[in-house]
Structure 1
Amino acid sequence: MNSNINLVILHIFFIVYGEVSSFRCDRRPYGATSPSARPDGRFKLKLMGFDYSYIPDQLYTVQITATDGTSQFTGFMISAEGDMKPDPRNPRRTVSQFPGHIRPQDPTTARFSDRCLYSVEQAAATYKSAIEVYWQAPPTGNGCVTLRAMVAENEDLWYEDGSPLTMKICEDLRQPDDVSPRLNYECQICDEAKYEISFTGIWSRNTHPQSYPENDWIPRYSDMVGVSHSADYVLWTPGTLVTEGLKDLAEYANTSKLETEILEKVGDGVRTLIKAKGHGYRKMGNPSLAIFRTDKVHHLVTVAIGLYPSPDWFLGVTRFELCQEDNTWLAERELNLFPWDAGTDSGVSYESPNIETFPQGAVSRVQMSSYDKNSPFYEIDMKDLHPFGRLHIKLMRTYHRECNEASEGEEETPSTEENPKEDQSDTSPVEPEEPSRYQNPELPTGDGGESPLDADPESSEKCPMSQWQEWSPCEGTCDGGKLLGYKWRERYHLVDGVAVEKYDPSNWRSAKKEVSKYCKALYDDFERTECEESCTDDSDTIENTNDITARRRVMTQIIPGTSWRSKKRDSPLTKY
């Protein structure tokens, strides 16, 4: 008796299980008693901006429209269905993958369905020839999604399924440029490498007109800050929470905390601190350049550049692999950069007021195709979005190392300079530098002329620079035993080993050399900073100081035929 009861219960279970497993949403119109008719092509389901595949997390517009321009319908339902996959907890059954969210675009015409998941239906049974709703694509890894539509002309005549009213779309597996390639955890390159990395801004009113700040002098980029590091170190990556340092960079374009956080990890997964000067009004498109070193342990590079003003948006690339699978260093790569969201501020536009995100969210791509009209990305697809910047990574040279050398202990002293200015090479032993093609001591220098200056090995090959000259004496006013003023120093653009614009009366070649506008924009050749020294506050000293300063100015000579560079030659106390 008990066995019969068990068999009946088991039979009922399999019937119910089969019905639940094959359950499908009933999209029948309210009050309809007749079965659906076969679609005749007069109504069509369309996905606006559809390019054969969907971009994860992208917001799309789904449309039902009459193809003949005259037909109308009263009811509809649009549903999203995910592909079936084996249940990881029970491989004998299947579960549906997440299909994304369907949501109304206009609450007067559409509402969430209370009959079906991931569906919207008509809000009123009025005649209409077209309807639009939003579909938020699922995150990556959810495979294909089927969008289905039901269209009802009246209670007795309605259509569903069929090619005009059903479409299956799968994830676009192509990745934007700034999504990192697969990591090479088994990097076996013994030689070390030196790379040049440059960032060029593209953000402007012409390229990104939607919601661009009204005052053109406000937008700017933060300094580019980054690291060359090992696979165990993470500065930032999608899906994780940002540090206070990266929060400051993303929200305020302030890099101080982030630099401190990186310096604390030198020797613990970090080899080189990367930093390059940020640019603002009238210089947004000027390149910023830095140099960094890599080895078989520290073969990844991560950088970040803040956008200001913005809620918490930044550009960059994370854990970018330089050690290729064939165990050679990547020669060169150019990457288009698109905004990331740090997850700390919920503003929707560049100049939104601070709205702290609580609890803090993880790093993610800034939402594209936003349905908020205040967003710079309102109804803009990622594939149609102009990049906000471009990153160029180039291999400069390699340094031979034997594979048995303990490179792990040979950490580089990190550079905190805004641009590569002085030779700040690794503390690890290096082979002698090969002769630079910019050094040519055999060129005639004239009687008593100065020899060509050595190029700074950290400057680029396209735009070689001399090393910085010594700082000038601190010049200013002595007040209360302290001299508060400024000191300055110079360096020179090199062309064929000749220091252009450096005065040498015997060097007839210098005045004939020209430096490209690109190189002048890339490197500063003059630097000034505040200084403070002890001094004696008496008239004799002041007279002597003034006399020395006067004589120094008199001795300063200018090349005939060249412009007077007042910003370098005038009193260091002059503001410019």
Structure 2
Amino acid sequence: MIIIFFTVLLFLNVGQEVFGFRCDRRPYGTTTQSSDPDGRFKLLVENTDESYIPDQLYTVKITETDGESRFTEFMISAEGEMKADPVNTRKMMLLFPGELRPQDPFSAKFSSRCLYSVEHAISSPKSFVEVYWQAPPSGNGCVTLRAMVAEHQDVWYEDGFPLSLRLCEDLRQPDDATPQLNLDCDTCDEAKYELTFTGTWSRNTHPRFYPENDWIPRYSDLVGASHAADYILWAPGTLVSEGFREFAEHANGSKLEGEIREKIGDGVRTLIKGKGHGYRKMSDPTYAFFRTDKTNHLVTVAVALHPSPDWFLGVTRFELCQKGNMWLEERELNLYLWDAGTDSGVSYESPNIETFPQDAVSRVQTSSYDKNSPFYEMDMKDLHPFGKLLIKLIRTYQKECKEEKEEETTQEAVTSTDEPVTTEAIEGEEKEDESDKEKNEDKDEDKGEPDSPSSEAAIVTDPDSSEDCPMSQWQEWSQCGGACENGKIVGYKWRERYHLVDGIPVEKYDPDIDPSSVKEVPRVCKTHYEDFEREECEDDCPDHEEETNLTAERRVMSKVAPGYGWNSKSHLKRTYF
């Protein structure tokens, strides 16, 4: 009987140590029981309000509240939630509560009695003490922080308000987090979008360890794609390709562009490309255009920072097809740093330290113990974005949906003739061969669209361009775009031209292009010859009937934000949905 008693007692003690339920936090050598907290000592977590951001670094503090009380000993513990083991539901498992660490080795140390705990290093009177708490990764639910405070060996307090705090994961996400996908997109209309990237990385916004020489920092070219749901250019938790490694580490997107081109027609609709900016032009906007349809309704883009280990900005698999089969009208995103997982440097100008084995894409650690990091002990809620991305719908192209029987007939025709055949009705026009019609529409409606390589016939060469870098003539100016106020539109108009290789506009969209036949434009040509111009303009507002050639649904569509905006009460200027 005695053996059984001690066996059970040993099991309970081991269970407490292993699972950290309620370990013994009493002061060393005490023979008394704890007293109920009387409010003179308080446990608090700075810069949070009953929630925590996963992986964020926080300061946990015990402090007196009356201006005169002192304590000599303490212990702070973190306890995770219990949940059923998914492998064996009859067993329970303890979720990870994060990690507590001493901030000052002279005042605190890791506890040898309890898991996920720190305690006093010396028993001297003190009015407050601070330690670090690294919040757990996403998916670990709520965490309870408990404190023991001892005035002396025989008078001590633990648990209960205000010596216990329960914090749950903040499920809100940063603006550039991946939104929920709409896998049921069934719109018949196609759409054209404009992307505008504006850099905000500067010595004023991010002063810690900003490169000393102002002419060194720059943004790479904007590179991306509009694509289908089964294509991944980059995403959190995945390994990047060799092209993306070179892009993230050296701000060189040539190889990455080649990888995207190889997938045109096989998961990718449009190669997106925008010019990067450097010294004196860091804050200049970068523009790019792309097309979407019911299959290719996602967009992924990235901009690398130079210098940096392997850091970049961007959005991945961003959903444009909204519920109700309507295209997203407009959305502006704040962009924060991502880590490509290929270099282990901690600061902008860190030496190259290859990450081996390669790690998955993740957020750059914005709260760090490393004093060499630009984000040492920095709260993400107070971090300025490194750039902004505006996604704006330019126009839609009305397409009539086909009945199932018509689709079957079309598929049979494709099989028998090897020619792409579709059906489309346009009011006031006769039906014609759809393959030729689709190409004619692209020529007439998409002049100047710098989406992806083209195999169309040669177009007129600009006589003012050089023989080494031939350019097409400038296309017609777009209509003046902007808000209509007091009968006037005040905004911008734009026009484009193309780099020519063998008389072919290299960056003009052609859905029938063979990726293997794509030709490269010399970098010197891209550097010395602009292919995009934008000017301020003013025009009369159009009549209501001709207000836009978008669909009726597009006119009345309100702004829709997939996913959620990320918020904190200390950052009230942001917009949330």
TM-score calculated relative to the size of structure 1: 0.72
- Which residue of structure 1 lines up, in the alignment, with residue 424 of structure 2? none
| Equivalent position of 2:108 in the other structure | 110
Inter-partner Cα distance in structure 2 for 1:359 and 1:97: 27
How many angstroms does 1:380 deviate by?
Answer: 2.1
Letter of the 1:283 counterpart? K
Pick aligned residue for 2:34 from 23, 36, 44: 36
2:532 match: none
Give per-residue Cα distances to partners, 1:128-147, cap 9 Å, x unaligned.
22211111111111111111
**Structure 1 131/427 Cα, relative in aligned 2: closer, same or farther at 3 Å?**
farther
Structure 1 pair 269–433 and aligned structure 2 pair: CA distance change class (3 A): closer
Confirm whether residue 429 of structure 1 aligns to residue 438 of structure 2: yes
Contact 2:478 2:495 in 1 (8 A): no
Which residue number corresponds to residue 166 of structure 1? 164
Q: Hey, what's the Cα distance between the residues in 2 that align with 1:495 and 1:293?
A: 17
1:63 to 61, 64, 89: 61
- Cα distance in 1 for partners of 2:479, 2:242 equals 46
Confirm or deny: 8 A CA contact 1:73 1:128 kept in the other structure. Answer: yes
The residue number in structure 1 matching 2:277 is 279
The AA in structure 2 aligned to 1:178 is D
Q: Deviations over 1:63-106 (max 9, x none)?
A: 11222233222221111111121222333343221111111222
Contact 2:477 2:495 in 1 (8 A): no
1:469 to partner: Cα distance: 6.5
In the other structure, the counterpart of 2:184 is 186
Q: Deviations over 1:288-311 (max 9, x none)?
A: 111111111111111111011111
Structure 1 residue 195 displacement after superposition: 1.4
Structure 1 residue 20 displacement after superposition = 3.9
Q: Structure 2: where are the runs of 5+ without partners?
A: 421-434, 452-457, 481-489, 502-577
Distance 1:282 1:468 in 2: 35
Show the counterpart of 1:470.
461
2:280 aligned partner, one-letter code = R
Secondary structure of the residue aligned to 1:290 is strand
- Superposed counterparts of 1:297-308, under 5 Å: 297-308=295-306
Cα distance in 2 between the residues matched to 1:433 and 1:239: 38
1:91-490 aligned at under 5 Å gives the runs: 91-404=89-402, 429=438, 432=441, 456-458=447-449, 470-472=461-463
CA distance in 1, matches of 2:468, 2:271: 31
Residues 496 and 323 of structure 1: CA distance in aligned 2, closer, same or farther (over 3 Å): closer
- Rate the CA distance shift 1:18–1:109 in 2: closer, same or farther, 3 A: closer
Q: Partners in 1 of 2:437 and 2:320 — Cα distance?
A: 20
The CA RMSD over aligned residues, in Å, is 3.7
AA of the residue aligned to 1:88: P
1:269 Cα offset (Å): 1.2
Counterpart residue type for residue 458 of structure 1 = E
* Per-residue deviation, 1:286: 1.3
Q: Do residues 27 (structure 1) and 36 (structure 2) align?
A: no
Checking the alignment, whether the CA contact within 8 Å between 1:399 and 1:431 is kept in structure 2 is no
Question: How many angstroms does 1:266 deviate by?
Answer: 1.8
| C-alpha distance in 2 between matches for 1:293 and 1:487 | 26
Q: Letter of the 1:386 partner, please give it.
A: H
Gaps of 5+ in 1: 412-425, 437-454, 461-466, 476-483, 498-515, 530-576
Cα shift at 1:378: 2.1
Deviation at 1:210, TM superposition (A): 2.0
How far apart, in 2, do the equivalents of 1:145 and 1:159 lie? 20
Give the whole-Å Cα distance in 2 for the aligned partners of 1:427 and 1:79: 71
- Deviation at 1:235? 0.8
Percent identity, please.
63
Could you tell me how far apart the structure 2 residues matched to 1:315 and 1:191 are? 30
Write the deviation string for residues 382-413 of structure 1: whole angstroms up to 9, x where unpaired.
Answer: 221111111111122222334346799999xx
Give yes or no for contact 1:400–1:431 (8 Å, CA) kept in 2. no
Once residues 96 and 248 of structure 1 are traced to their aligned partners in structure 2, the CA distance between those partners, rounded to angstroms, is 41
Q: CA deviation at 1:468?
A: 9.6
Q: 1:132 to 1:468 in 2, by over 3 A?
A: farther
Other structure's SS at 1:387 match: coil
Contact residue 335 and residue 388 of structure 2 kept, 8 A: yes
Give yes or no for contact 1:222–1:253 (8 Å, CA) kept in 2.
yes
State the distance in 1 between where 2:295 and 2:10 align. Answer: 59
Q: Contact conserved, 2:448 with 2:498, CA < 8 A, in 1?
A: no
Whole-angstrom CA distance in 2 between matches of 1:310 and 1:490: 38
Q: Distance in 2 between matches of 1:303 and 1:469?
A: 32
- Where 1:175 maps in the other structure, the secondary structure is coil
TM-score by length of 2: 0.71
Change (3 A) 1:127 1:469: farther
Larger gyration radius, structure 1 or structure 2: 1
User: What is the alpha-carbon distance in structure 2 between the residues aligned to residue 468 and residue 67 of structure 1?
Assistant: 78
Q: 1:391–1:51: structure 2 CA closer, same or farther, 3 Å change rule?
A: same
